[in-house]
Amino acid sequence: MSSHESSFTVASDHPSLAGHFPGNPLVPGVLLLERTLECAEAKIGQPLSVKAIVQAKFVAPLKPNELAQVELRHSPTELRFAIRHAERLIAQGIFALAPPP
C-alpha cells in the first residue's frame, strides 16, 4: 500500500456552509469525502473510480478555514484515509475502488 499526505481548507463562503449550520457553520461530511478524493487523485496522478464507501466515521467537526490534514493509504482496490485538524481526528474511513483498466 502506498502512503501520501495532503491538506485542504474549505473557505467560509463555500455554498454548502450556508445551510450547515446557520450561525455556526461546519464542513459537511460529504464535502470532507469529496475533498479527500480530490487530494488522493492529485497525489496518485489519475482519476479514481469509487465503487463504495466501505466505512466512514466522522468524530469531530471541521470549521470553515481550518486546515484539514489528510493521510492517505491506497492500493489499486482500496483507499484508506484519516482527516485531522491540529492532531485531532476529524474523520476516517475506507473507499472501495474499481481496479484501473
Task: Give the model's pLDDT for residue 21.
Answer: 85
Q: Indicate the average pLDDT of the chain.
A: 95
Task: Check: CB of residue 48 under 8 Å from CB of residue 89.
Answer: no
pLDDT at 87 over 80: yes
Band (19; pLDDT cuts 50, 70, 90): confident
pLDDT at 20 over 90: no
Non-local (6+) Cβ contacts of 86 within 8 A are: 67
